[in-house]
Structure 1
Amino acid sequence: MNTANGRLARRLGLVDATAIGLGSMLGAGVFAAFAPAAAAAGSGLLLALVLAAFVAYCNASASAQLAAVYPASGGTYVYGRERLGEWWGFTAGWGFVVGKTASCAAMALTFAAYAAPGWERPAAVLAVVALTVVNLLGVTRTATVTKILLAIVLVVLIAVIVVSTVDGEPARLGEPWFDGGVLGVLQAAGLLFFAFAGYARIATLGEEVRRPGRTIPLAILGALAVAVVIYLLVGIALLMALGPQRLAATGAPLAEALASAGVPGWPARVGAAAASLGALLALIAGVGRTTFAMAGNRDLPTVLDAVHPRLKVPHRAEIAVGVLVCVIVSTVDIRGAIGFSSFGVLVYYAIANAAAYTQPPAVRKWPRALNVAGLAGCVLLAATLPWQSVLAGLAVFAVGLAGRAIVLRTRR
């Protein structure tokens, strides 16, 4: 078992854990993922959304079942080690840390693009520093700030849904469904999966949740259910307001949907900024906890395996993640990293489904068929992502696995 297990304080209840998961899912993905999905599938993005939601449900049930038995920091990194072996655990953890560190940078730059155009890099760095400090103050501070940002996002999304539905044209929903063919729908599902991946944050914080055997499954599935309903309503509203072609061409679909109804687009920009901050806050926390867990097993530098004696947070891991993200946003623009991040997360959940499949009947809460479907869905969506994303993802995994092999040989 992870050496870090049991050293963090259990301070999160059901509401806090659900808010963190929902705040992660209703992040910048809802403001950014619909346009590339429409470009791939046209109005077939609704079918792609249902497919992505089904795969997400399979993954969520696997994560919930595993987290109830292994309520430790690290999520699938821990589950893979315990059920499949160290290499599978490392693969999951490496994909999560690298992919989600890129997502942190993308979320920071997305926030800055909405909140401080023209000053994007300094604003992104300031956002990362501020949210890293919030995380360092304790997990309850993380949950409180997440709930505030989530409330802002929900108000904006509800406004977009209402305005776009009232002013939109239902006939646009009947425009060609398979503009990009079956491959286009699968690509769109893979891109939209990026927006569902936030429930992993609940599992990675498993060591800080009260009554984890009950709280984590309820929080994961509850957050996912709310997110699915909201995403479906937003997708329908955007198609009614803009149609698939106009939706595919815009860089700010929710703002344009409001503008098409004669409403100023600034509320959508405020919502996008808040959503980006909410996702970034939970991402930094999740990546920090996984880094902490990997360091405890010597899969990352052991200097990161430390808990603050008073605040009970993995402060060195959190600071390391914050510094790395600041370096990335200061030098590289990776707001287009949705496909790369999706590939890493799909591999992460494929391993989660495989790990859940091996659990004995005594601890099983869902049938193995869901694990098989989830594993197959993850592999299919990962393989049909844009080829650039697939190649980048494979290269990152190759570097990580080769590096671990070299380190292990050196230790021997």
Structure 2
Amino acid sequence: MSTTSINSAPASGGLRRRFGLREAITITAGSVIGVGLFTTGSNVVGTLGPAVILATLLALVVSIYPALLYGEMGAALPYAGGTYQFASLGLGRGAGVLAGWNFIISLVAVTGGEALAFSYYFRTIFLAFGVELPISDVVLASIVTLGFIAANLFGVELTGRLQNAFMFFFWGVAAIWFLTMIPNVHLPYFVQAPAFLPKTDALGFFSATCMIWWCFAGFEACVAMGEEIRFPRINIPRAMFLAPFVVFAVNALFQWYLIGITPAEHLTALSTAEAPFAEAMVSAGILGFPLALLAAGIAFGGDFSTLNASISTPPRYLFSMARDGSMPKIFAKTNRFQCPYVAVATLGVLTVALIATNSLMYIASLSLFADLFYYVIGIVAAWALRRRHPELERPYRAPLIAVGAPVSALIYLAMMTQLDREAFVTGIVWCVIGIAIYLVCSRRYGRGGEFSLDLKASGAADQPDPKERAAMDREYRIWVAVVAAACVLALALFILPYVAA
């Protein structure tokens, strides 16, 4: 099947396919590894102590099957817009708009939170040497956000190069920091810590797991840029197979070090710290270069990679929705770099507005509401697409969808019950605004304003030649081996203190 039409307009306005597997993984990982891990996710360590690994494992488990569903949908329908397109075709345009609209506010919130997290750790670089910057977190966060908005206007080629640089810088600094911190890790802290922690009941553990899961939210980020990924029917499923495990390995390794370097009597202080890793190192008396190294890796690697990815991805949703006539057409305008510049600039202004709240917990809760909501829609859309469009060519099919999809949707709905009331209300208001704009636009543009993409003409159906396919397979095997080794190492490190005891 060479052409899949969501609507009836002529095929035009597609984006260029420039990203390979590496970019698909680094953009996805970069959208996830950042603000959650180094702020609110690490706050959970102050509540659960070493038991945080159980919450992280549970967060991984509830992420794997939805990632497989996105691998199936992303390969079958490699559009810009991801869940918006899947839900529009599977459930109807209204559901698609709700999904896309919530994806947008989710990553806009991530961007705002990430910018604030950057300001916390950027300050730490100077504080490590006794210098305090005379600038507020809000101003610093806004400046760096505007810088990334400007960079994104130059298109995905620059975005992709920056993303690779930030992610590999982060992993390089992390590896150096891991090695230099080994002498500062105290295995008895893993055994002693529970005695210093408040008692956590089942509901409290579930709530903490939800916050840890926020560190996984965005595992399907590259799917939103489906029109810009080369050989998407191969690369998108592979990226989706790997993404949750990449996130798990990075989170678990950093959690292990955080517990290992924090004196047990100071562990609970992490639950309210703005920069938990900096708090841990200061409480352990680890200052100077080691503290500056960690802060630089988080700020210029983890935070920058998430800022870059989370600023570039939501505009593709808004672009796709505008191109279809579900949002004002002005958001479908692109510049000579094929960047939806109006969408980038508009969402940038919204990001700065969230930064101005200077409340990372509120931003995290708002993002969590939107994440869970659009994932529920996406999961149901995967099941609906199987029923309504069995003719779609699916290079990959998620197993046991009749069981996996409803169970995953129910789990995510249960997680929504743990959200803060203020963020929940804001999320509902955001949904109402989105539907209102959609109704106005659908009346103004009608069906004739919609868009369809010729998958064959877009390059989605292209297949690599044998030599390139062999290189792609080799690259994928290397990724699998490295990610599997990292996951095994992380689990082994959490078991080690109990074996050594």
**TM-score using structure 2 length:** 0.75
User: How much does 1:165 deviate?
Assistant: 5.4
The SS at the match of 1:169 is coil
State which of 74, 80, 92 in structure 2 corresponds to 1:73.
Answer: 80
Residue 106 (structure 2) pairs with residue 99 (structure 1): yes
Residue 274 (structure 2) pairs with residue 251 (structure 1): yes
User: How much does 1:344 deviate?
Assistant: 0.5
Partner of 1:304: 331
Cα deviation digits, residues 194-230 of structure 1 (max 9, x gap): 2212333201111100001111111232232222112
Partner of 2:96: 89
Residue 65 (structure 2) pairs with residue 45 (structure 1): no
Cα deviation digits, residues 359-394 of structure 1 (max 9, x gap): 437732332133233212211212223344333333
Partner of 2:240: 220
Partner of 1:400: 434
The residue type equivalent to 2:29 in the other structure is L
User: How much does 1:327 deviate?
Assistant: 4.6
Answer yes or no: is the 8 Å Cα contact 2:370–2:427 preserved in 1. Answer: yes
Answer yes or no: is the 8 Å Cα contact 1:44–1:178 preserved in 2. Answer: no
Per mean C-alpha deviation after superposition, the further-off stretch among 267-276 and 63-72 is 267-276
Residue 411 (structure 2) pairs with residue 386 (structure 1): no
Q: How does 1:132-151 map to 2 (within 5 A)?
A: 132-151=149-168
Q: How many residue pairs align between the two structures? A: 410
Partner of 2:252: 232
The residue type equivalent to 2:175 in the other structure is I
Answer yes or no: is the 8 Å Cα contact 1:28–1:272 preserved in 2. Answer: no
The whole-number CA distance in structure 1 between the counterparts of 2:424 and 2:214 is: 14
| Runs (5+) with no aligned partner, structure 1 | none
Per mean C-alpha deviation after superposition, the further-off stretch among 77-86 and 238-247 is 238-247
The whole-number CA distance in structure 1 between the counterparts of 2:245 and 2:277 is: 22
State which of 25, 31, 40 in structure 2 corresponds to 1:24.
Answer: 31
The SS at the match of 1:199 is coil
Answer yes or no: is the 8 Å Cα contact 1:40–1:184 preserved in 2. Answer: no
The whole-number CA distance in structure 1 between the counterparts of 2:220 and 2:47 is: 26
Answer yes or no: is the 8 Å Cα contact 2:36–2:42 preserved in 1. Answer: no
Partner of 2:208: 188
The whole-number CA distance in structure 2 between the counterparts of 1:185 and 1:386 is: 16
State which of 343, 352, 375 in structure 2 corresponds to 1:349.
Answer: 375
Per mean C-alpha deviation after superposition, the further-off stretch among 160-169 and 368-377 is 160-169
Answer yes or no: is the 8 Å Cα contact 2:121–2:278 preserved in 1. Answer: no
The residue type equivalent to 1:186 in the other structure is F
Q: How does 1:121-160 map to 2 (within 5 A)?
A: 121-160=138-177
Partner of 1:340: 366
User: How much does 1:282 deviate?
Assistant: 0.5
Cα deviation digits, residues 246-272 of structure 1 (max 9, x gap): 432433222233345543222222123
The residue type equivalent to 1:383 in the other structure is T
Per mean C-alpha deviation after superposition, the further-off stretch among 352-361 and 93-102 is 352-361
Partner of 2:230: 210
The residue type equivalent to 2:412 in the other structure is C
The residue type equivalent to 2:99 in the other structure is A
Change (3 A) 1:165 1:349: farther
The whole-number CA distance in structure 1 between the counterparts of 2:445 and 2:94 is: 16
User: How much does 1:61 deviate?
Assistant: 1.1
The whole-number CA distance in structure 1 between the counterparts of 2:62 and 2:430 is: 23
Partner of 1:276: 303
The SS at the match of 2:220 is helix
The whole-number CA distance in structure 1 between the counterparts of 2:275 and 2:178 is: 15
Change (3 A) 1:408 1:198: closer
User: How much does 1:187 deviate?
Assistant: 1.2
Answer yes or no: is the 8 Å Cα contact 1:164–1:257 preserved in 2. Answer: no
Answer yes or no: is the 8 Å Cα contact 1:150–1:278 preserved in 2. Answer: yes
Per mean C-alpha deviation after superposition, the further-off stretch among 288-297 and 22-31 is 22-31
The SS at the match of 2:399 is coil
The whole-number CA distance in structure 2 between the counterparts of 1:39 and 1:339 is: 18
Change (3 A) 1:342 1:151: same
Q: What do you get for the CA RMSD once the two structures are aligned? A: 2.7
User: How much does 1:292 deviate?
Assistant: 0.4
User: How much does 1:294 deviate?
Assistant: 1.2
Per mean C-alpha deviation after superposition, the further-off stretch among 160-169 and 276-285 is 160-169
User: How much does 1:164 deviate?
Assistant: 5.3
**TM-score using structure 1 length:** 0.90
Residue 400 (structure 2) pairs with residue 367 (structure 1): yes
Residue 16 (structure 2) pairs with residue 9 (structure 1): yes
The residue type equivalent to 1:154 in the other structure is W
The residue type equivalent to 1:333 in the other structure is N
The whole-number CA distance in structure 2 between the counterparts of 1:96 and 1:128 is: 19
User: How much does 1:90 deviate?
Assistant: 1.1
The whole-number CA distance in structure 1 between the counterparts of 2:121 and 2:280 is: 16
Change (3 A) 1:162 1:146: same
Per mean C-alpha deviation after superposition, the further-off stretch among 19-28 and 380-389 is 380-389
Change (3 A) 1:282 1:210: same
Partner of 1:169: 186
The whole-number CA distance in structure 2 between the counterparts of 1:220 and 1:209 is: 13
Answer yes or no: is the 8 Å Cα contact 1:34–1:235 preserved in 2. Answer: no
Change (3 A) 1:161 1:248: farther
Answer yes or no: is the 8 Å Cα contact 2:114–2:303 preserved in 1. Answer: yes
Answer yes or no: is the 8 Å Cα contact 1:68–1:212 preserved in 2. Answer: yes
The residue type equivalent to 1:288 in the other structure is P
Cα deviation digits, residues 40-99 of structure 1 (max 9, x gap): 545432222111111221221111111001101111111110111112111111111123
The SS at the match of 2:216 is helix
The SS at the match of 2:346 is helix
The whole-number CA distance in structure 1 between the counterparts of 2:119 and 2:82 is: 29
| Runs (5+) with no aligned partner, structure 2 | 1-5, 124-132, 447-501
Change (3 A) 1:411 1:143: closer
Answer yes or no: is the 8 Å Cα contact 1:42–1:178 preserved in 2. Answer: no
The residue type equivalent to 1:137 in the other structure is F
User: How much does 1:102 deviate?
Assistant: 2.3
The SS at the match of 2:339 is coil
